[in-house]
Structure 1
Amino acid sequence: MRGYVANSAGIRYGVGLMQKRHIMGFVRNALGLDPPPSPDEPTVENRFHPWDQSPSPDLRERAATIRALAKCPVTGQEINYTCPISGIPTHHSREAWEKDIDYQQSKRPEILKKVNIYEHDLRSGRPFPEFDFPLDQDFDRMVNLTNWDLFFYTRGFYSMDTEFQLAASTKMLSYPITIGSVLHQFSPYSLNPKGPISLEGLKSLAALRYTLYPEQNRRVVSTAKDSPLRIFILGARAEAQLPGHVWKQLQFMFPETQMELHFVGPESHFDRNKRDYVHSSTPIVRRVDETLSFIYHTDFFHVLHEAQDFFPYDPYTDIFFCFHPGFAAPESRENWMGKTMEALLETKCAIFTTGFNEADLKRDMAAVVDTYGKELDMLMEPSHNVFGSTKWELNDMNPQQVYQFNMYMAGFRGKRYHAIEV
């Protein structure tokens, strides 16, 4: 009877088959031959399917949503035609698709194709070894924050050999590593004029790094070093649903620091059992381990600020992030540009915000500066975020609109020193 063994996933393999594979592997290595590609290995060819004929029910449903709600950019009518290049419904008819010269001559069809293949890859059922994140950083290894490739290499991540692996992992890691890249002593963002950080920005980051690197400040006594770093994420939604081991990658960058992540907003806590966002009159606390805690506040920031729930604020231990807030967007401007922004500026702590692209971020910052320009200091001029997501996303309401998470970033804070007339 043939013998069997089980691998770590519990899948059984015949011993004879395993021996044959080992022999064939030895022969290939001896001859310098590459191993045969796995049928599970993602490629553009095996991940491309028109969405309305997709093997994934989710993507067939998204195609139906586009057809029902989006409008053709040429005719203004409903969308009934699937672009043969991207496999995504984009126009009313083939004639409209052919007439759309701007679309044909742009990079959008190829970018939409990437949206297509990335979404199919995530639903393919293949193994995702890129999600096996490394644990704490060895003290004899330094993190390099020049770009994603060097970060992955110096942190000991799984080798990201394909665009599929890079897209899947950077979408999850963009939030924690964006925060880490701003705070780290070897941040890729330098002082003006070579970099986007202003002098006031350097002051704010120096205060935070004083707390993050206590071993460099042992001669100075400070209560800030005994307090956890509080990272406030306002308007939290998707980022509040990331697993603890993803956010732990941020804490691994600062191994001697205790961190509290405060997710603030009506949609900051999603109950997976109820499959809905829940509201709580008291903070919901989830402890990942002794160095990292999640605290969910299911109300607007200005309400909690007025109740003094977060007082006192400390520029040495507190920092704010707003990921894609839509300060200037018609549907969200009213929520942000009144009491919430006034409360944020009153904290006098550093505030960083991101956008889907350069134009999106600059619109948001223009709205803030035009309204509160005399009451704030710029900490970081709008610039490309080194750790933006590489995965392309699609707006189902407008399939011509593609974007990537956290592609641009800027920073500001409430003015600490007001001019005095003499």
Structure 2
Amino acid sequence: MSEQERVVVTGLGTVNPLGYDTETTWEQALAGTSGVGELTRVNKDEFPMKVAAELKDFNAGDFMDKKEARKMDRFTQFAVASAFMALKDADLEINDDNAERTGVWIGSGIGGMETYEQQFRNFLDKGARRVSPFFVPMMIPDMASGQVSIATGAKGINSCSVTACASGTNSIGDSFKVIQRGDADIMITGGTEAPITNIAVAGFSAAKAITTSEDPATASRPFDANRNGFVMGEGGAILILESLTSAKRRGAHIYAEIVGYGATGDAYHITAPAPEGEGGQRSMQQALEDGGLAPEDITYMNAHGTSTEYNDKYETMALKKVFGSHASELLVSSTKSMTGHLLGAAGAIEALFTVKAIEDGVIPPTINYETPDPDCDLDYVPNEKREVSINAALSNSLGFGGHNATLAFKQFVE
């Protein structure tokens, strides 16, 4: 077997509740700004959920051809917009020379729920003949990846991970492995989600996973003793992963190196995490081992940190198990405190935050941390950013169905 390729991050793009580009998003995150507001995409009087992290003035026509955008569900529009920005950021043009060595792998937890809901209403109210011919190709979760491939001309592997809240992280991790084993030189990868629809909000509300707080500013409060559920968010984030050989040949800017990936299953419960975060423990350990990293090499952990009772407690227990005595030195933050929970896109925006933290040497805070929980007693970088040199960092995603995924990044050194 030939020597494995080193893989680096050369481009970033995102539309999310904090901003419609990476620079604005990062500035807002470091400032501890909340992207959560009053629920407006559905009638909040009909649901126990009253707040959400929405993209309130997103206009797909600002990022792509309006005619093409009309053939895409909102979740796909987020992915295409983010991909165009990431390619521009990477100063990367896909052409005849590299198209077949450039792949796309973009995850989504639930795909085109807005399209599904609209077209099912058409079916019920007006009959089968009024269902759009675009219904299926707008709804299916893989269409974000498919449309990005079409829009950019990328002809390499084209795939989609549907692993609930781990979808974005699994997509990035699997893309890393595609390049590492030499099957592609470049991957356009990340996650996207547009779940704020009537049926999705009803379903998550029935599962009692969502906060019922009516105060947008403080509703998302990971690791705080008074947390009572996650805040639903929407958006997309894309990373350009590239072999070091390709990046150096192009003279590309390198944000960080991706070095490790762990992925495990709880084999426990459809929604609840395994006790003590056992599956997450193994995922983190795998990522460390894959990256040739020791626990004490990790400065920062971007936690899954959903603001739900069991996730935050068990993720803390898992971190203590994996990091041992180093856990007390570890800097942990949940950027979901600001973005809300982007479900299948969560791991992608959080990977972006992790990469930026490494490059700039500053950790975004966990906002709304007011009342310590005895079960959550690590350093969660409360309320204020922390400037610190970061050698290596992990990002965690833990999803319904017992999906656990962890990415390991480090500073790029020749």
Answer yes or no: same fold by TM over 0.5: no
Larger radius of gyration: 1
What TM-score, normalized to structure 2?
A: 0.30
Q: Which has the higher contact order (CA 8 A, sep 6+)?
A: 2
What TM-score, normalized to structure 1?
A: 0.30
